[in-house]
C-alpha cells in the first residue's frame, strides 16, 4: 500500500529533512507517525502526496512508483488519497454540502452520483442536519468532520491526516479520533501525523516515531496487547 525505501530529502537550504527512511504500511492499517517539531513528519506527508520529490530513494503507493508519475498526472494520482489537515481548508463561501460535493465535481462525478453520495457521507460524520451551514457557523470539531467527509467522498484507499486534532479541544479531538478509527474499520488505510502522545498511547495502534529525519522506532502496540 505505502512503501518507502531508503528515502532522503534534502532541501535547497541544506536542511536534511529525512535521512534514509524505510517503512512499509499494509492495506487496512492504522498508523500514527509521531516525533518532535523538525523530526520530518510534515516532509514525509508532502512526499506521500507528491508535493515534494525525494532527493534519493523510492516511494511506492498503491503499487505506483512515484518516480514514474509525471507532474501533470499528480492531481489524478492524488484522487486515491484523502487528506485532512489541521486547519480544515474548507471553502468559506460554500456550505457543508457544497464543500463535500466540490471534491466530487473536481473528478467530474455525475450529478446523480453527487446527490447520492454527499448526503451519505454527511450522515456518516453526523452532520446530515447541517448541510446548509457555512463553515464559519460550525464548531472546530464539526469543520474537521466536514473535511473528513470531503476527503472520503471519492472513496480513496488511503486517508492521510496531518495533525487532525491540532486545533481542537480535548472532547472534539477524541470524537475525531473515534471517527478515524471507524473509517479504518471499514477498510481504509489511515495514517495520522500527530504530536498528541495522550491519544497515541490510548489508541493502541502502530506507532512510527521520527527523530531528526530518521525512524527512531516502529512499534505495533496491538501486538503488545495480545501477548
Grid cell of 199 as nine digits:
491519544
pLDDT of residue 158: 95
For residue range 19-45, list pLDDT tens digits in order.
999 999 999 999 999 999 889 999 999
For residue range 57-78, list pLDDT tens digits in order.
999 998 889 988 888 888 888 8
pLDDT of residue 77: 86
Provide the pLDDT confidence category of residue 220 given band limits of 50, 70 and 90: confident
CB-CB contact of 35 with 1 (8 Å): no
d(CA 140, CA 144): 6
pLDDT of residue 227: 42
Q: Look over the chain and give the mean of its residue pLDDT values, rounded to a whole number.
A: 92
Residue 213 DSSP label: T
In the numeric block, the cell 502526496 is attached to 49
Grid cell of 10 as nine digits:
534534502
CB under 8 Å to 189, separation ≥6 — which residues?
1, 2, 25, 26, 27, 28, 29, 30, 157, 158, 159
Predicted TM-score (pTM) of the model is 0.91
Fold (topology level) of 2-226: Rossmann fold (3.40.50)
pLDDT of residue 225: 53
Amino acid at each position: 500500500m505505502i512503501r518507502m525505501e531508503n528515502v532522503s530529502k534534502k532541501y535547497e537550504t541544506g536542511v536534511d529533512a529525512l535521512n534514509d527512511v524505510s517503512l512499509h504500511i499494509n492495506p487496512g492499517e492504522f498508523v500514527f507517525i509521531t516525533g518532535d517539531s523538525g523530526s520530518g513528519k510534515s516532509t514525509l506527508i508532502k512526499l506521500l502526496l507528491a508535493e515534494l520529490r525525494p532527493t534519493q530513494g523510492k516511494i511506492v503507493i498503491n503499487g505506483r512508483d512515484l518516480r514514474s508519475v509525471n507532474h501533470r498526472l499528480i492531481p489524478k494520482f492524488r484522487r486515491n488519497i484523502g487528506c485532512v489537515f489541521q486547519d480544515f481548508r474548507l471553502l468559506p463561501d460554500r456550505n457543508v454540502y457544497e464543500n463535500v460535493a466540490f471534491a466530487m465535481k473536481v473528478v467530474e462525478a455525475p450529478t446523480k452520483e453527487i446527490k447520492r453520495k454527499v448526503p451519505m457521507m454527511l450522515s456518516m460524520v453526523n452532520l446530515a442536519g447541517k448541510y446548509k451551514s457555512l463553515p464559519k457557523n460550525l464548531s472546530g470539531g464539526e469543520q474537521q468532520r466536514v473535511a473528513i467527509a470531503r476527503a472520503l467522498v471519492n472513496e480513496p484507499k488511503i486517508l492521510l491526516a496531518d495533525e487532525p486534532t491540532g486545533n481542537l479541544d480535548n472532547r472534539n479531538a477524541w470524537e475525531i479520533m473515534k471517527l478515524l478509527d471507524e473509517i479504518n474499520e471499514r477498510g481504509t488505510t489511515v495514517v495520522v501525523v500527530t504530536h498528541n502522545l495522550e491519544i497515541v498511547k490510548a489508541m493502541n495502534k502502530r506507532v512510527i516515531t521520527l527523530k531528526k529525519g530518521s525512524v527512531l522506532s516502529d512499534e505495533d502496540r496491538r501486538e503488545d496487547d495480545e501477548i
